Structures are given as C-alpha cells and as structure tokens.
A and B are shown apart, each in its own frame.
Chain A
Amino acid sequence: MADRLLLRHHRLSALGQAEDFDDEPINPGDPLPILPGHHSAGRLERLLRAGVFAITAELSPPDSARAEDVYARARIFNGYVDGINATDGSGANCHMSSVGVCALLTRLGYAPVMQISCRDRNRIAIQGDVLGAAAMGVNNLLCLTGDGVAVGDHPAAKPVFDLDSVALLGIVRAMREQARFESGRALTTPPKVFLGSAANPFAPPLDFQVARLAKKAQAGAEFVQTQYCFDVPRLKRFMQQACDAGLDERLFTLVGIGPLASARAAEWMRTHVPGVHIPDAVIDRLRRARGKGAAKAEGKRICIDILERVREMPGVSGVHFMAYRQEEAVAEIIDRSRALDGRIPWYPGRDRRSGPAPNVESPTELQQEVLA
C-alpha cells in the first residue's frame, strides 16, 4: 500500500540522512499538510503510507510532576524513532497520564502516539480527551481496552470499561469522519487522527486473533502495534493468516519488540505481565550467557535477531520498541540492525544546522531550553 513517495533525503551529518517531505512546514514540528487519502498531519502516517519501515518506541511515563522527566525520557530516542507512545496507566499502574505526557511532547514537536485505555474513563471523558489531544497536535491515537485493575498497584480502584477497544475505535472514527460524538451531537472541527490499536498474535484463542484484527480494521484501525514478539514462527503464521485475509492492505502492523535483561527478568515477565509469551528456547539462550553483562548483551542480540527476521516478513510495516528500563539499548539495537537504513527520523533540533531554521520569533522558553 505504498503511496506516492514524498520523501527527500538530505545529508545531515556523517551519521546519515534526514528524511524530509516536499511540503515541510516552516516551523519544524508544525503539522504537515494532510494529503488526500490521509487522515492526520503526522509523520508516522506519512512514513507508513510511503512504505518506509517505521519505528516507534514506548516512553515509560514518570511518577513525578516534572516536565523535564518526560523530556529526558523522550530525548533518549532522538533520531531513532518515528513516534513515541505515551502509555495510559499501563499494567494498571498509576503514572503521569498519557494526555499530560502528550501535552508536553507536542510542545516540542515530538510525534506522540497517545494511548487511550478504556479502564479508567467512560465515553464522556474519553471523547473529551480525544478532542483535547487533537487540538494539542497529537496525530496518532492508540485505542486499547487496558489491563484490569487487579494486576496493577491500585487493585481497589473501580474498573470502568464503559467501552472496549473496538467500540472506542468506532467512536473516534465517527468523530473524525462524521464530525459527531457517540451521542450524535455535532463537532465543529473533527479530530484529524491516525487510528491505531493493539494485537496479540501470541495469546489464545489463537485462531480468533486474525478475526479480532479484522474487527479492529473494520472498526477503524489503520495501524496496530503488537504485544512483544519472542516467537517469530508464531508471528509468521499470524501474519500469513492476516495477509490471506487481506488485512495487510487495510492496516499497518508494527511488531512489538524489546530486549530482555536476563533469564530471571524473562521468567518474571512471562508469569506476571499479562499476554506476554516467551518460548523456553529464548530463556535458555539467556541462561547460557554467563558472566557480567553477558545476559544483557545476549538479550540485545536476541532482540536484533527478531528485528531482522520480522523486517523481512510480508505484511510487517515496522517495529514498536517496549524497552522498559532499557530505553538506552534501543538506539544501539537500531544502529546494529540498520533498521533505519541510514535515515534520521525528525526530532526537535534535528534540522538546526542543515535544515530550515526554526522560527526565532515564536519558540517558547521551553523550546529554547531544549534546543539549546
């Protein structure tokens, strides 16, 4: 489903090339014009529709009220990712909200993927957040059901689940395309967002997972990010089934990957994190790595192996990094696997020297601080 390739490359540094679109805005980070057939003003949709292998990464939101804590975590990915996922109380643990993280990130022009979970808010709150997010410049929404409260740090909380991910997709698409709330009341300006959801090819009922993906595509999903992939053959079967059902023509799939720190961490993850499937072979491989730092290095190698195999897989449009507490490993894994093919995704300040200069009249103090 490669689109007209509206990409230009220019040499940025010895490191590689910066990708630019023909219609780059004067202020970097400003929304791009929305092309015919596109839904959002974001770079992620542009890249995916242009057939570029895209990379997104999950930012773990801080347990603090300090903006810099968010920026520090985002900077780790500078020049390596095309979108940063702002999680919404993932694992049912309380952190800074996805709306808050996105508000901070969009101030600097980052391209967040705002996750919306149905666990904590009803349809009134969620639709309000969708409007607010789009107004702040969030171009990508990820509609999720969310983890149950029992697995998180506030098991006494009331689970909401007014909607499920499929219903949420339908509601946001109707907001975007019919400019109306679920109630039918009209919107004056609809939210121009690229819609995503999650998929788990590794959880039972395995044979139903493709049907579930089809439901999501039908409800409005234009991309999906999958659960961690540690079982490539299983993913391959899933992608094969999805392609046979024509789903590769209807949505982009970004495969979830991430480095494992040790055999123990892997064991913990597969027993405690809902929906994560790690084959014994992977854990054995980690266990065999002895010596200081050996397991960690092996974890990265496993991640690179998976990335390289996934990249060649029909129907796969990119990868999504979930590298909790190992965020700094993401850059190394991307470099070593050459997954970016020499391109440097946009980040605040990337084009400071070679590209168009930022508008010196408008940057906020915050921008100056970060661009300095």
Chain B
Amino acid sequence: MRVLRYWSVSRAGAMQRVYQALERLLIQIDPLLRKIGYQRLEAPFAAVERLLKGWFFDCRMCGHCVLQSTGMSCPMNCPKQLRNGPCGGVRADGSCELDPAMRCVWVEAVRGAAHMPGGERIQVIQAPLDHSLAGRSAWLRELRLRTAA
C-alpha cells in the first residue's frame, strides 16, 4: 500500500529504532534460534517478514534487505529495482518516469535518509542483488552473517 509506504518513510527515524531493537533481540536469542535450526525457521520467518514488511514497505521479498541504507524506502518498488540511486528519468515533480502516480522510490529514500540516524548509509554502494535469495528471510540471513563472525 503506497500510502503506508510513504508514511513509513516519513517515520524513518522511528522505523530505524524499531529495526535496531529487533536486531538486538534477534542477536540475543540467536543461541536459541540456532538450537531450533535456521533451516526450520526459514519458512515462518519469511512469512512474518512478508506480512510485516509487505504492510509497511511494500516489501517484494528480495531476500537482501537494504531498507536501512535507503531511508526506509524499499528499492524493489522501483520499476528498475535500482539499489544505488535514482535513474535519470525522474519527473520534475518527483514522480516515477514509468508510473507517474507513484513518487520516485529514490526521492522518497533521500527524504527518509535525511531524518534517520545512520541516514548517510545511502551513500554506500550496494552490491548487485543475489537473485537466488528471492523469497527467503532477509532477517535470518543478516543474523547468520552477523553472528558468524
């Protein structure tokens, strides 16, 4: 839902704090999660993410979430799925060249990043998307990467 997506960007700061809290919680209960087994948790995690992130961010389940680097504006909603900034076709009013009824995902991203802690992460280059992750839980993947070290 676009209205809710725009709302989430307006609350990028609050969203970021929720994310950070969630991150701390997951890291804390990681030993338990490992005992249950990531593999077994994959489906329920993905289902929860699909629901929650779908609701707030129009998440497309790319499996490699970069919301915190894009001002809480999901780049998978860009018709070109650009992860490193806007294309050159953004209309003068800030709407998408391909869908004039939609605000450019990256105009939104810049807006969100401006009022969220760590917003400068929008400057960091994102690697090309690994399409084999589609449909999988991005949170578990992140957790696995964080706790592996």
Q: Which residues of the partner chain B approach A171 to less than 8 Å between Cβ atoms? A: 128
Assess the A147–B85 pair: CB atoms within 8 A.
no
B84 cross-chain contacts in A, Cβ below 8 A: 164-167, 212, 215, 219
A227 interface residue (CB < 8 Å to B): yes
- Asked if A162 CB lies within 8 Å of chain B CBs, one says yes
- CB atoms of A208 and B106 under 8 A apart: yes
- Is B5 an interface residue, CB under 8 A from the partner? no
Question: Is B83's CB within 8 Å of the partner chain A?
Answer: yes
Compute how far the CA of A296 lies from the CA of B122 in the bound complex, rounded to whole angstroms.
43
Number of interface residues of B (CB under 8 A): 31
CB distance A219 to B88 under 8 Å? Answer: no
Q: Is the CB of A205 within 8 A of B123?
A: no
Contact between B85 and A212, CB atoms less than 8 A apart: yes
Q: Given A145-B87, A150-B98, A214-B123, A277–B80 Cβ distance below 8 Å?
A: no
Quick one: which of B85-103 are within 8 Å of A by CB? 85-94, 97-98
Q: In the complex, are the beta carbons of A219 and B79 less than 8 A apart?
A: no
Q: Are A203 and B85 in contact (CB under 8 A)?
A: no
Q: How far is the CA of A288 from the CA of B3 in the complex (A)?
A: 44
Q: Are A211 and B89 in contact (CB under 8 A)?
A: no
Chain A hits for B81, CB < 8 A? 161, 164
Given the complex of chains A and B, what is the CA–CA distance between A162 and B81 in angstroms?
8
B90 to A205, Cβ gap below 8 A?
yes
Q: How far is the CB of B98 from chain A (nearest CB, A)?
A: 4
Contact A166 B88 (CB under 8 A): no
Given contacts A167-B126, A219-B125, contact A147 B110 (CB under 8 A): no
Q: Which residues of B contact A275 (CB under 8 A)?
A: 87-90, 97
B residues less than 8 Å from A205 (CB atoms)? 86, 90, 94, 104, 106-107, 110-111
> Which residues of A are found within 8 Å of B93, using beta-carbon distances?
204
A200 to B89, CA, bound (A): 8
CB pair A204–B88 under 8 Å, yes or no, is: no
- A55: chain B residues within 8 A (beta carbon): none
Residues of chain B within 8 A (CB-CB) of A151 are 89, 97-98
Q: Does B35 contact A (CB under 8 A)?
A: no
Chain A residues with Cβ under 8 A from B82's Cβ? Answer: 145, 161, 164
Q: Given that A205-B106, A275-B97 are contacting pairs, would A159 and B126 also be in contact in the complex, using a CB cutoff of 8 Å?
A: no
A298 to B122, CA, bound (A): 43
Taking the complex as formed, is B127 at the interface, i.e. its CB lies under 8 A from any CB of chain A? yes
Q: A148-B80, A159-B79, A275-B97 in contact; A208/B86 too (CB < 8 A)?
A: yes
CB proximity to A under 8 Å, residues B54-84? 79-84
Contact, CB under 8 Å: B97 / A204: no
A159-B80, A204-B107 are known contacts. Are A147 and B89 too (CB-CB below 8 A)? yes
B131 at interface, CB cutoff 8 A: yes
Q: What residues on A are CB-neighbors of B97 within 8 Å? A: 147-148, 151, 274-275
Q: Which of A185-216 contact B (CB under 8 A)?
A: 198-200, 203-205, 207-208, 211-212, 214-215
Q: Does A112 contact B (CB under 8 A)?
A: no
Closest chain-B Cβ to A358's Cβ sits at a distance in Å of 40
Known A163-B128, A171-B128: A215·B94 in contact at CB below 8 Å: no
Please tell me if the beta carbons of A203 and B123 are within 8 angstroms of each other in the complex: no
Q: How far is it, in angstroms, between the C-alpha of A200 and the C-alpha of B85 when the chains are bound?
A: 12
B residues near A200, Cβ cutoff 8 Å: 88-89
For the A-B complex with A162-B128, A227-B88, A275-B89 known, give 15 more contacts whose Cβ atoms are closer than 8 Å.
A118-B80, A147-B97, A148-B97, A148-B98, A164-B81, A166-B126, A167-B83, A167-B84, A203-B86, A203-B89, A204-B92, A204-B94, A205-B90, A205-B110, A219-B125
Binding site for B on A (CB under 8 A): 118-119, 123, 145-148, 150-151, 159, 161-167, 170-171, 182, 198-200, 203-205, 207-208, 211-212, 214-215, 218-219, 227, 274-275, 277
List B residues at the A interface (Cβ < 8 Å). 79-94, 97-98, 104, 106-107, 110-111, 122-123, 125-129, 131
29 residue pairs of the A-B complex, CB under 8 angstroms, read: A118-B80, A145-B80, A145-B88, A146-B80, A148-B97, A150-B98, A164-B80, A164-B81, A165-B84, A166-B83, A167-B84, A170-B125, A171-B128, A182-B128, A203-B89, A204-B90, A204-B94, A205-B86, A205-B110, A205-B111, A208-B106, A211-B85, A211-B122, A212-B85, A214-B123, A215-B85, A218-B125, A219-B125, A274-B88
